[in-house]
Amino acid sequence: MATLLKRALDRLSPTMGAEEVQTWLAPLKPHREGGVLTLLAPNSVIADVVSERFLSDLRAVLRDMDGELSDVRISLGLVGGDDAAPVKPKSAPAKAPEPAENRVDPRYHFDNFVEGRSNQLAKATALQVALKPGQAYNPLLLYGGTGLGKTHLLHATGNLIKKRNSDTRVLYMRSENFVSTMVKALRSGRMDEFKRTFRGADALLIDDIQFFANKEGTQEEFFHTFNSLYDGQQQIVLTCDRYPKEVEGIEPRLRSRFGWGVSVALEPPDFETRVAILQRKAKDAGNPLGDDVAQFIAQRMHSNVRELEGALNKLKAHANLTGSRIDLAFAQAALRDLFRSHEQVTSLSNIQKTVADYHRIPLGELLGKKRQRSLVRPRQMAMALAKELTRHSLPEIGQAFGGRDHTTVLHAQRVVRELIEVDARAREDWESLLRLLSG
């Protein structure tokens, strides 16, 4: 029956267009009973659109190809090829296993988290929480830009808690799944079960809480869940893409609770950490990298671990395809296009514009000659960022900043380096700009 449907789709493709056929009709699974062919759609959108727009043509083609078909119908159904069967309502639904996306991912451990200056405090704190859940730091909030290892530490914490006590109930959830689970529970009148599930966890790990913003109902429920867990000394670990006080649309009472325990930032990895991450991941994937190759990639990709992984995956796929050894020349050729596009993101002009926007000063003033303190500091910051994030020389950077001398750039770099050591506000600006520029 699947073959009949496939032939029908091949026939419809020239007139309907392959894109429409593949989007709407290819996901249908046939189920035949006698002369009636039921096409099972995986969701209601596909079922509705196929019924409205395509069913009459499809029915005509199918009946033309098989004279014994008396009818062709659309129904919502389980996906399973010829064995597919329409969904039948169950009087007492069996308890479904925890969906994959809600389980702690066993691949993430503290052992395979590459530590560097940028993340060592976060790792140490998470480790303490895993060793003494509910006692050491509660809640633990890990925050920082995307792709810096927050989720890795979240899973690592959950895994270690479970490893030390297999009876412990650790519940991991992305914030959006918390929202959708709650909505489903509300619709099906099963809020009590929802509350029991979350409030009964020994450790609740919620990823990306910034997506709770402006969802008042969810925040209300999470507030009560939080209180219940906290009062019961059950561990709460949260991640957020920025310091929670910076997230607009989160209720003040919830924000204040996020701050009850400890909040630790993860920063973009420095050069040495990037090299170590690359070598570790490449080794784990069975394609170890030489120092020169790892340094070559780390010099060009500054921002986050996910991008480093993307570069490694491309390198690995190229190497497997060609059967080549990964040396420096191979890496340079295989990653040429990637680095070209990456360098566009961290161009000098992009850095200048981002810094000017961040400090709300006109770009012309940032590049101009005025020496007011309100302009000098952002200018120095932008020059230091240019040195950090691009491969331009000091004279090139000076030239791009209104034709300044290379010694001015060097001075700016030193000033900023010293400033972020002693001035919390300057450090915050530097880190925010790094996050903005490196995604």
Partner 1 sequence: MTGGQQPLALSWRDGGHFHDYYPGHSNADAVALLRQALGEGDCSICLHGPEGSGRTHLCLAAADAAGDAGYYLSLRRPRVEALALLEQQGAVPLLCLDDAHRLLGDRDSEKVLFDVHNRVRDGGGTLLYTQRGDVADNDFALADLRSRWRGAIQIHLRALSDQELAKGWSERAKLRGLQPDPAVISWLLTHRRRNFSDWMDTLERLDRAALAAGRRLTLPFVRGLLKGPTPGAEG
Residues near partner 1 (CB under 8 A): 13-15, 18-20, 22-23, 26-27, 42-46, 49, 81, 100-101, 105, 145-147, 174, 176, 208, 211, 241, 303-304, 306-307, 309-310, 313-314, 316-318, 320-321, 337-338, 341-342, 344-345, 435, 439
When the beta carbons of 88 and 340 are compared against partner 1, the nearer one is 340
The C-alpha atoms of residue 220 and residue 231 are separated, in whole angstroms, by 17
When the beta carbons of 98 and 423 are compared against partner 1, the nearer one is 98
3-class SS of residue 391? coil
Token pair, residue 168, equals 């412990």
CB 386, min distance to partner 1, A: 17
Token pair, residue 262, equals 């400890």
CB 110, min distance to partner 1, A: 21
When the beta carbons of 283 and 417 are compared against partner 1, the nearer one is 283
Q: Which of 291, 284, 326 is nearest to 309 (CA)?
A: 284
When the beta carbons of 52 and 71 are compared against partner 1, the nearer one is 52
**Which conformational region is residue 189 in: left (phi greater than 0), alpha (psi within -120 to 50 degrees), or beta?**
left
When the beta carbons of 42 and 200 are compared against partner 1, the nearer one is 42
CB 165, min distance to partner 1, A: 25
DSSP state letters, 77-94 = B---GGG--B----SSPP
CB 70, min distance to partner 1, A: 26
Beta carbons of 334 and 370 less than 8 angstroms apart: no
Beta carbons of 121 and 142 less than 8 angstroms apart: no
CB 311, min distance to partner 1, A: 9
Q: Which of 236, 238, 216 is nearest to 226 (CA)?
A: 236
CB 43, min distance to partner 1, A: 4
When the beta carbons of 416 and 433 are compared against partner 1, the nearer one is 433
* Alpha-helical segments (H) within 17-109: 18-20, 44-49, 55-65
The C-alpha atoms of residue 48 and residue 37 are separated, in whole angstroms, by 17
